[in-house]
């Protein structure tokens, strides 16, 4: 597998993108993006598990329900979530789909619609329509980066990646873009992502592969414990490479590439968490089941006390154990082992057999003071393990979200 320098969502063969500024964001920033395949695509999609969902999620669920084998692309806007907008919002989402289909020369049911931004504000379709027309005129295989930029909200950088996967009978490319910096938590992790490939994959297989890849990437990150109304991940496969993913070995290789792309995008989201200064990997080992390990890691990752300790460079490990203890997982505290480390450095053991070691506080504080931190908790009651990626909780997060609308 080879990472493509500067690659993104239109790196696979047969895809183009365009972007425009239609006024949904301030200062005429790019806020409307089109991703289009020159060939029909099989499609897979995952959506938020929040009971309150945005109009585009409702529409996209309906779309993939009637067409999962002849999709052509995605129209996306930032600056307005079109969520909690009632019947007018659903009408607006349908108009986005209809008008983009007309501009691209395809059927309405061949496009997905994505929106992100402020909740509870009606989408100004006169502005969106101008953006759709402008973006359609700028379609190019060189415009993946501007499309990735156009879907950002509080993000500070565009998130994109592409990889080449070699096979005996050819090669395929998987590319993707994502956005997300706040309201990030599993079920689905709060974000928008579009992933493309030029492999030929049946839609039923594609859905299963996406589910597995997302479970170990997008559903393993948390910034603030809030799951949004708009979370959507879309995977398109247009077959332009001429290589079919049909046998088990090819499925395994394809999944490894897909999971790598998803994981890298997920890591970018955590690194760009609102106000974040640290990227934190929480590894829970020795659990009775993977579900138990995940539950403990996730509880630690979402603990405000743990996250503020991380922000303050305070190795207050008692908060980590306390969070683990309320995860709803049975374990014996006298068996616990806890260590912390920075990447590629020896870990510092803080707890062994539930008892503090004779570590030096300055050494622990030095690790917590770094930009990347690994926390490992061993429950010592089984063989299962799981990892969750998170960030610290800073004054910057409060500042961004205290006046998000104003």
Taking only the tens of pLDDT, the chain with its 406 residues reads 999 999 999 999 999 999 999 999 988 899 999 999 999 999 999 998 888 999 999 999 999 999 999 999 999 999 999 999 999 999 999 999 999 999 999 999 999 999 999 899 999 999 999 999 999 999 999 999 999 999 998 888 999 999 999 999 999 999 999 997 544 445 554 579 999 999 999 999 999 999 999 998 988 887 655 567 888 999 999 999 999 999 999 999 999 999 999 999 999 988 887 767 899 999 999 999 999 999 999 999 999 999 999 999 999 999 999 999 999 999 999 999 999 999 888 999 999 999 999 999 999 999 999 999 999 999 999 999 999 999 888 776 666 566 655 5
Distances (CA, A) of 300 to 66, 282, 309: 40, 8, 12
Instruction: Give the separation between CA 150 and CA 85, rounded to whole angstroms.
Output: 22
Which range of residues forms the domain containing residue 310?
A: 279-402
Domain boundary among 250, 271, 292: 271
Domain boundary among 249, 271, 293: 271
* Burial annotation 93-109 (CB, 10 A radius, 16+ → b, else e): bbbbbbbbbebbebebb
What is the chain's length?
A: 406
Shortest CA distance to 22 belongs to which of 133, 117, 179, 104?
A: 133
Residues 85 and 34 in one domain: yes
* Burial annotation 221-258 (CB, 10 A radius, 16+ → b, else e): bbbbbebbbbbbbbbbbbbbbebebeeeebeebbbebb
Contact 337, 349 (CB under 8 A): yes
Contact 30, 214 (CB under 8 A): no
Residues 54 and 135 in one domain: yes
Residues 207 and 297 in one domain: no
Handedness of CA 117, 112, 227, 201 (dihedral sign): negative
Residues 148 and 190 in one domain: yes
Handedness of CA 264, 373, 343, 384 (dihedral sign): negative
Residues 98 and 169 in one domain: yes
Residues 246 and 287 in one domain: no
Residues 33 and 105 in one domain: yes
Instruction: Give the separation between CA 43 and CA 70, rounded to whole angstroms.
Output: 8
What is the CATH number for 47? 3.60.70.12
Q: Is 187 helix (H, G, I), strand (E, B) or coil?
A: coil
Of 190, 196, 229, 394, which residue is the catalytic one?
A: 190
Residues 309 and 358 in one domain: yes
Domain boundary among 271, 304, 321: 271
Q: How many domains does the chain have?
A: 2
Contact 348, 367 (CB under 8 A): yes
Residue partners of 360: CB distance under 8 A and separation at least 6: none
Residues 308 and 161 in one domain: no
Q: Taking the mean position of all CA atoms in its chain, how far away is CA 281? A: 16
Instruction: Give the separation between CA 207 and CA 213, rounded to whole angstroms.
Output: 10
Residue partners of 27: CB distance under 8 A and separation at least 6: none
Shortest CA distance to 100 belongs to which of 30, 36, 28?
A: 36
Residues 48 and 190 in one domain: yes
Residues 158 and 97 in one domain: yes
Residues 239 and 341 in one domain: no
190 is a catalytic site residue: yes
- The strand pair at 170-179 and 221-222 is best described as unpaired
């Amino acid at each position: 597998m080879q990472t493509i320098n500067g690659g993104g969502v239109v790196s696979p063969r047969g895809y183009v993108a365009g972007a425009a500024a239609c006024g949904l964001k301030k200062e005429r920033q790019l806020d409307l993006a089109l991703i289009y395949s020159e060939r029909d695509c099989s499609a897979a999609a995952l959506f938020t598990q929040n009971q309150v969902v945005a109009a585009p999620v409702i529409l996209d669920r309906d779309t993939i329900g009637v067409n999962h084998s002849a999709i052509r692309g995605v129209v996306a806007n930032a600056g307005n979530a079109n969520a909690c907008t009632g019947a007018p919002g659903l009408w607006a989402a349908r108009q986005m789909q209809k008008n983009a289909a007309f501009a691209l020369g395809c059927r309405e049911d061949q496009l997905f619609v994505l929106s992100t931004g402020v909740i509870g504000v009606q989408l100004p379709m006169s502005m969106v329509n101008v953006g759709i027309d402008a973006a359609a005129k700028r379609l190019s295989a060189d415009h993946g980066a501007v499309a990735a930029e156009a879907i950002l909200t509080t993000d500070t950088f565009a998130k994109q990646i592409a990889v080449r996967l070699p096979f005996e009978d050819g090669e395929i490319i998987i590319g993707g873009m994502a956005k997300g910096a706040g309201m990030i938590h599993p079920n689905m992790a709060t974000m928008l992502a579009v992933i493309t490939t030029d492999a030929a994959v049946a839609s039923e297989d594609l859905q299963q592969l996406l589910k597995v890849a997302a479970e170990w990437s997008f559903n393993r990150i948390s910034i603030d414990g809030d799951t949004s109304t708009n979370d959507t991940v879309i995977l398109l496969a247009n077959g332009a490479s001429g290589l079919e993913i049909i046998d088990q070995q090819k499925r395994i290789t394809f999944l490894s590439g897909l999971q790598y792309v998803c994981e890298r995008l997920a890591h970018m989201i955590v690194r760009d968490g609102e106000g974040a200064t640290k990227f934190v990997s929480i590894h829970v080992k020795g659990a009775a089941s993977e579900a138990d390990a995940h539950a403990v890691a996730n509880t630690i990752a979402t603990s405000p006390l743990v996250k503020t300790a991380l922000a303050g460079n305070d190795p207050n490990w008692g908060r980590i154990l306390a969070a683990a203890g309320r995860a709803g997982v049975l374990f014996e505290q006298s068996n616990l082992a806890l260590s912390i480390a920075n990447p590629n450095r020896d870990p510092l053991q803080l707890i062994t057999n539930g008892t503090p070691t004779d570590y030096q506080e300055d050494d622990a504080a030095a690790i917590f003071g770094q930009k990347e931190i690994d926390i490992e908790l061993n429950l010592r009651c089984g063989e299962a393990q799981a990892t969750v990626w998170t960030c610290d909780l800073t004054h910057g997060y409060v500042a961004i979200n205290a006046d998000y609308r104003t």
